[in-house]
Structure 1
């Protein structure tokens, strides 16, 4: 393709999205540029503080457990308080808790604050995804989610390199730096992103009593098709997590060094940054059912091929395969969640969906450790291939009757009559209540 063609493709990929989306996208990028805790927590605890690897694992587990709990709570907050207040609370809470964590020295204090950091840092995800679904037209949602995922990985790639140099100077500087970057995200959200939550559904009379049509958490849990998607999301994310828990162990067992693992896993970030936008153009108008089936198989068999790897080059090749699956799966699955979610319950639905990834992050280390210790790494990669096949079959069964062009989650929920600052996100005025909440509470973003 010519340079002019590439420019045209890039312009078409980023054009036509609402201004509010780009402020939200920028806040995501800034937030990921400041990521430090998730990347260097284990090194900080073992090298700087002198704690054991077992203690570092416990702290990481508590951090993940906090994310599991906050996924559900933040989903409810997103629907009840609004997207903007929830993001502000999460961002400010993260900034404060990360800064405090840098000053903790007692092991119980570190573990407790790490749990709070896990809760705060994951709390904004349902709100961000729900707001994107609110402000982006259905035809552009896969493209929007792809661009947001690209920002996450671009920010993480840059921050990982920068954080390494910062850690050599001072781990505390890394904690303070992340807190400051998260505060910048909070300011961006507060100043530039208006509330987008749809107005409440009309009040109905039921048996002489007034009642509201409200999507509750129990409504989400009783949604069979959606919970099936959540279960399949858990299986797929369980596979992807092995790139960070099972892969380094297997490469070490093959006599490869940590730098060799760094070289192989760097391929993941490079490919996502390089291919996310062009792949988005290819998939954005294609059948999500086929994309999810294909990406599940690519993920499973990409890791399955690792059983035959013995050199850095072959390991890097397998990373290429499952990274392509990740590029396709992440935005497509997020778009499917929106499609299955009623407009007034998007926060709760996104919260439950986010929880599937948090739970996988807890289970994956236990799974890889048990299988490798008792059966060997080859069995772990074989299990990944089987799980990917099961996930692909599950998507085929669940999505057989899913309409192609409709958004089932919204078609049965009457859109509210135009309400000032609610029905039109692009003309929304900043919510005064959110401004008060932002001055009193604490929070963070993706």
Structure 2
């Protein structure tokens, strides 16, 4: 049962991230080249889309905690699938912009629900809880890499398939929830075992009661701040770094190659680092602090970087740090949560990560323009190291 439960979660997680990797590069190109809208308009639409996705993240956490686990997934997948089906047959302006924002809402709901289900499984298997988050993170990266590879081929051949394939992916996920929902819940029947649930709730309350409410809120603040700051820095690689490298006489293929290196090396590094840190450090906060410190130190190689090896080393160090940090943060949030707030806590990780990705490119460009890229990189290094120290102060039960 447990293996099958994890297997379906992995499939849904990889599928969702494959759609993300598939559709994100399409939006700007399609709006500017096919719909003939300006970069400003397309940027505004994507900002609204990101805002609706964050709203969906928060809504998904609330529905997961107060409505229904399976119902939350069904709502999110249904909204996203219908949105992509509409775009498959009618992708004209301004309908495209309107439907895209609705898709963002549905994807936000479903993404938080999948993360929350992962926390449920981790709670049911405490001895292997961190390993579950590590595997889910790896499957997400596999999905993104696969989606990024497919989109370059499919977008050039068929606009219809570009939007229909994501719809098909979410319809597949819908069918999994409908016909295998009881397996996702970890029960042999479609109705959960209330006795087992009550016993699990008692254990969760016993763990969380060791931490006072003010201290718990401080813990959550420090974790959310760390997520926000690390994504403010990490998002520079997706945005302003391309300009920095071009200004230093590198080519776009040199920039793109770094992301291929990141994806490939992550497949090897993540399982190794997950096993190593789990065996060396029992406390999750220490693992996160270590990962953040490594990520922050990766930016030291970038100021004045004129040789390509400096970017390669920086990316490899960043990959080592993210392989420790990103799967462990939701594991720590899960440790603080109970059955009554598990979805909400998992939504914090997604929301603050999305906020960092949304603000990072703009704030980074401001610092680089007003001062320099060198100042930007050192500022990122300093702030990430600072929040690493903050996470180390978290009181872990």
Give the alignment partner of residue 370 of structure 2, picking from 368, 374, 389.
Answer: 374
Contact 1:198 1:344 in 2 (8 A): no
Give the alignment partner of residue 8 of structure 2, picking from 23, 28, 45.
Answer: 23
**TM-score scaled by structure 1?**
0.77
What displacement does 1:346 show?
0.2
Give the alignment partner of residue 353 of structure 1, picking from 346, 349, 353.
Answer: 349
Deviation string, structure 1 residues 225-250 (Cα, Å, up to 9, x no partner): 21321122111222222221221221
Deviation string, structure 1 residues 94-124 (Cα, Å, up to 9, x no partner): 1111232453322x43332222122111212
Whole-Å separation in 2 of the counterparts to 1:373 and 1:335: 38
Contact 1:23 1:189 in 2 (8 A): no
Whole-Å separation in 2 of the counterparts to 1:276 and 1:331: 9
Whole-Å separation in 2 of the counterparts to 1:21 and 1:225: 28
Contact 1:83 1:128 in 2 (8 A): no
What displacement does 1:258 show?
2.1
Structure 1 residues 188 and 301: CA distance shift in structure 2, 3 A? same
Match in the other structure for 1:325: 321
Deviation string, structure 1 residues 343-382 (Cα, Å, up to 9, x no partner): 2210111122221111112211211121122212112111
Query: After the TM superposition, which residues 419-434 of structure 1 pair with which residues of structure 2 at under 5 Å, given as runs?
Result: none
Deviation string, structure 1 residues 10-37 (Cα, Å, up to 9, x no partner): xxxxxx9532111111122233334422
Query: After the TM superposition, which residues 12-411 of structure 1 pair with which residues of structure 2 at under 5 Å, given as runs?
Result: 17-35=2-20, 36-102=22-88, 103-106=90-93, 108-136=94-122, 137-194=125-182, 196=185, 223-285=217-279, 286=281, 287-397=283-393, 399=394, 401-403=395-397
Structure 1 residues 303 and 366: CA distance shift in structure 2, 3 A? same
Whole-Å separation in 2 of the counterparts to 1:271 and 1:332: 19
Number of corresponding residues:
369
Whole-Å separation in 2 of the counterparts to 1:101 and 1:373: 38
SS at match of 1:119: helix
Whole-Å separation in 1 of the counterparts to 2:335 and 2:256: 37
What displacement does 1:275 show?
2.1
SS at match of 1:223: helix
What displacement does 1:198 show?
8.8
Whole-Å separation in 2 of the counterparts to 1:253 and 1:82: 51
Contact 2:61 2:116 in 1 (8 A): no
Structure 1 residues 342 and 288: CA distance shift in structure 2, 3 A? same
SS at match of 2:239: helix
Contact 2:302 2:377 in 1 (8 A): yes
Whole-Å separation in 2 of the counterparts to 1:362 and 1:85: 29
Deviation string, structure 1 residues 153-177 (Cα, Å, up to 9, x no partner): 1111122111101112123321111
Contact 1:95 1:179 in 2 (8 A): yes
What displacement does 1:66 show?
1.0
Contact 2:301 2:310 in 1 (8 A): no
What displacement does 1:289 show?
2.1
SS at match of 1:402: coil
Which of the two has greater helix per residue?
2
Deviation string, structure 1 residues 274-320 (Cα, Å, up to 9, x no partner): 22222222223423222111111111121232224224332122111
Structure 2's unaligned 5+ residue stretches are 186-191, 200-212
Moved more, 176-185 or 26-35: 26-35
Structure 1 residues 363 and 33: CA distance shift in structure 2, 3 A? closer
Whole-Å separation in 2 of the counterparts to 1:391 and 1:300: 10
Structure 1 residues 83 and 39: CA distance shift in structure 2, 3 A? farther
Whole-Å separation in 2 of the counterparts to 1:177 and 1:53: 26
Whole-Å separation in 2 of the counterparts to 1:33 and 1:355: 20
Structure 1's unaligned 5+ residue stretches are 1-15, 203-218, 404-446
Match in the other structure for 2:208: none
Contact 1:299 1:322 in 2 (8 A): yes
Moved more, 322-331 or 120-129: 120-129
Whole-Å separation in 2 of the counterparts to 1:198 and 1:246: 51
Quote the RMSD (CA, aligned, Å). 2.4
